[in-house]
Amino acid sequence: MNTAALSLNNLTVCYDRHPAVHHLSGAFASGSLTAIVGPNGAGKSTLLKAIMGLLPATTGRIDHAALARSDIAYLPQQAQIDRQFPITVLDVVLLGHWRRIGALRAVTAELRAKAVAALAAVELNDFQRRPIRSLSAGQFQRVLFARMLLQDARLILLDEPFTAIDARTTADLLDVVRAWHAERRTVIAVLHDLEQVRAHFPETLLLARSGIAWGRTAQVLTPDNLRRARQMAEAWDESAPPCAVDP
């Protein structure tokens, strides 16, 4: 039986005491490949931010087992990244070494070679000196995946990694995700395309602030579960009083 890489125990995460994730419990097995799906506003991105430590738990806890912060890589949505910053493609990828070298140690020829190899792995061999503002959405996503390759993380969190990118880039980056899975890394991705989830992700968490279902994808993405998630989303009342959760 797989051990848990990450466990959620009665987790609630709130904005202004209004729950975005509500009393969620479960575990991501070590080496698992899991999609998080659900209606808009279901708490999917909030959950990733809480796992990463960017948002505090209101109640409950997140257990990272033996994972250190440096063992976790997080890819936010592209809309949260400022692409006007004057930096080259290679410089962005080299940031994948940051936790090893910090701000004071120089980038060695070996580390630079690894960054170039990561760019080759995502088919951007000749893009090293290009400014990131000149890239298409798909090209920039390849750059971000190359940076994650250098991080060599045991837990990988991806927030809508295939949104607004072309089909070829999606297919190539799915190959990277499958390679991570084959290496027994734990990968958790927020996704919207249910057919993509069915085809490539063995495990799924269906979230509508509360957990609707969590387990094997075929057993989670049933018409009944999807209907329940939709009904819960339609019943949300943003003007309701704050949640009286325990401190």
pLDDT 10s digits, 146-162:
999 999 999 999 999 99
User: Mean pLDDT over residues 206-212, rounded?
Assistant: 95
Cα-flanking dihedrals φ and ψ of residue 125, to 5°?
-55, -40
Q: Are 93 and 115 in contact (CB under 8 A)?
A: yes
pLDDT confidence tier of residue 188, bands split at 50, 70 and 90: very high
Pairing of strands 72-75, 155-159: parallel
Task: Give the domains, in start order, of the chain with CATH numbers.
Answer: 1-67+156-247 (3.40.50.300), 83-153 (no CATH)
Predicted pLDDT at 247: 44
SS (H, E, C) 116-165: HHHHHHCCCCCCCCCEHHHCCHHHHHHHHHHHHHHHCCCEEEEECCCCCC
What is the mean predicted confidence (pLDDT) over 164-193? 96
pLDDT tens-place string over residues 33-55? 999 999 998 999 999 999 999 99
Distance CA 133, CA 137 (A): 10
Instruction: Give the span between the Cα atoms of 226 and 215, in whole angstroms.
Output: 14
CB 188, CB 8: distance < 8 Å: no
Rounded CA separation 131/65 (Å)? 39
How confident is the model over 113-124, as a mean pLDDT? 94
| 246 pLDDT above the threshold of 60 | no
CA 171 to chain centre: 17
Calpha distance 232→183 (Å, rounded): 37
pLDDT tens by residue, 59-105: 999 998 778 888 999 999 876 677 777 889 999 999 888 776 655 56
Closest by Cα among 19, 28, 24, 6 to 60: 24
This prediction's pTM = 0.90
